[in-house]
Amino acid sequence: MPRSDDNDYDAFAHAYADSNETNAWNAGYERPAVLALVGDVAGRRVLDAGCGAGAHSAALVARGAEVTGVDSSAALLAIAADRLQDVAAFRHADLREPLPFDAGSFDLVLASLVMHYMPDWGPTLREFRRVLAPGGRFVMSTHHPFMDHQLGGGKDYFATYDFTEDWRRGDHVVRMRFWHRPLGAMTRALTEAGFTLDALEEPQPDPSVRRLDPEAWLSLTTEPRFVFFAATAAAA
């Protein structure tokens, strides 16, 4: 069974996209929770940062948003572009680098399950702040530090450190590299980048998960798995 380099979504893009559409963790837990935080986006310019295969972009378009998606995986971007055709725009971008947009280009930035790949949140969050219009909103989901500290086997919860996990999708094993950071470091990074924190949530999964995937239901309702933030771009 071939092994791919760290975080190589291109190697298993279609298998990942298919799973993301229906599995309990994404479709029954993360997506409904983060979209609830997003709220009304009709007529808003939205950056879907780390858009993957476009599941969130599709939901945002259906709610009336003008969506631009960016991702570092060419294969996932191709799936997203094929899915949404000309109703959303997609561009290749590395979120660790400056974004290819003018200041104030968006009313909302959504970062779904992408920040745990970043060794340093500061530059990425400052870019999100830059491309937001005054008063714009930032909504994100990321791995809960409680979960990552368990998975990573770290000795110091308050440290920032990386760890790996093997994902098996189709015929590929992909080594995924994540970064654990404590909750306090997450909130400080947001405020230091120029955001005012509006909400921090640890939601429950959609009730349908209980029937569709009892094992996932038990995990998602008894231990913190992801954590969700909503913030506003502070006045300059």
Nearest to 88 by CA among 113, 55, 120, 116: 55
What is the mean pLDDT of the segment spanning 54-79?
Answer: 97
- pLDDT score at 1: 45
Domains of the chain as residue ranges with CATH: 3-151+160-233 (3.40.50.150)
CB 66 within 8 A of CB 43: yes
- pLDDT score at 6: 74
Q: What distance in Å separates the CA atoms of residue 76 and residue 92, rounded to the nearest whole number?
A: 10
Express each pLDDT in 141-176 by its tens digit.
999 999 999 999 999 999 999 999 998 877 778 889
* Higher pLDDT among residues 3 and 25, named by residue: 25
Residues 6+ apart with CB under 8 A from 77: 51, 69, 71, 90, 91, 92
Total length of the chain: 236
Secondary element (H or E) of residue 16: helix 13-22
Nearest to 115 by CA among 18, 167, 67, 180: 180
pLDDT band at 5 (very low <50, low <70, confident <90, very high): low
- pLDDT score at 29: 98
SS3 for 105?
coil
Nearest to 108 by CA among 75, 82, 80, 137: 137
- Choose the weakest-confidence range: 4-13, 90-99, 118-127: 4-13
CB 115 within 8 A of CB 208: no
Share of residues in the chain with pLDDT > 90 (%): 88
Residues 6+ apart with CB under 8 A from 81: 54, 90
Report DSSP letters for 50-118, one per residue.
T-TTSHHHHHHHHTT-EEEEEES-HHHHHHHHHHHTTSSEEEE--TTS--SS-TT-EEEEEEES-GGG-
Nearest to 82 by CA among 50, 54, 60: 54
- pLDDT score at 236: 65
Nearest to 47 by CA among 142, 144, 140: 140
Share of residues in the chain with pLDDT > 70 (%): 97
- pLDDT score at 18: 92
Asked whether the predicted pLDDT for residue 120 surpasses 70, the reply is yes
Q: Residue 202 is which amino acid? A: E
- pLDDT score at 129: 98
Distance of alpha carbon 187 from the chain centroid = 16
Asked whether the predicted pLDDT for residue 96 surpasses 70, the reply is yes
Q: Which residues pair with 4 in a beta bridge?
A: 174
* Higher pLDDT among residues 224 and 174, named by residue: 224
Express each pLDDT in 21-54 by its tens digit.
999 999 999 999 999 999 999 999 999 999 999 9
Helices 121-131 and 183-192: crossing angle in degrees, nearest 10, is 40
Give the CA radius of gyration of the chain: 17
pLDDT band at 184 (very low <50, low <70, confident <90, very high): very high
Q: What distance in Å separates the CA atoms of residue 17 and residue 11, rounded to the nearest whole number?
A: 12
- Mean pLDDT of the residues in the chain: 94
